[in-house]
Amino acid sequence: MLAGSRGELEADGFGGGFFTYSWKVGDSTATIVSQSGSAAGSTPRTEQATAVPASGFVTFFVLYDRAVWVHSLFLDKKTVLISRHVDSAAAGAPLGGLYTTSCSIAVQ
């Protein structure tokens, strides 16, 4: 992950965690459930997202007051790409991160 104006590489903190994406094809809303792998026994977090389908992948946008998280789920490649875009008051600068991993996909 890149952080700050110097472009430093940092550990992502997602190790052992998970994301579950749930949406009905054709709908523009989705639910994303996440749980940290480093916080065993922690309560899963549920977010509402806007779903935008494209050829071969679906992108989910999660909007916050000072941040946007973008999750792109590549269906055939079974890969997810996540980016975060934050206007950080603490850092006094925009911050971002880019994460990717393989995933499994189940259609119900």
> pLDDT for 43-84, tens place per residue?
888 999 999 999 999 999 999 999 999 999 999 999 999 999
| Structural domain count, the chain | 1
At a CB cut-off of 8 Å and minimum separation 6, what does 105 contact? 73, 75, 78
Say if 26 falls within a structural domain.
yes
Say if 55 falls within a structural domain.
yes
Both tokens of 20, joined, read: 């579950």
Quote the domain boundaries for residue 28: 2-102
Say if 108 falls within a structural domain.
no
Distance between CA atoms of residues 102 and 55, nearest Å: 19
Rounded mean pLDDT of 20-36? 90
Strand partners, 69: 62, 84
Look at residue 17 and give its three-state secondary structure.
coil
Say if 107 falls within a structural domain.
no
**pLDDT above 60 (res 1):** no
Give the residue from 1, 5, 49 showing the smallest Cα distance to 24: 49
**pLDDT above 80 (res 107):** no
pTM here is 0.80
pLDDT at 6: 56
| Amino acid in the structure at residue 33 | V
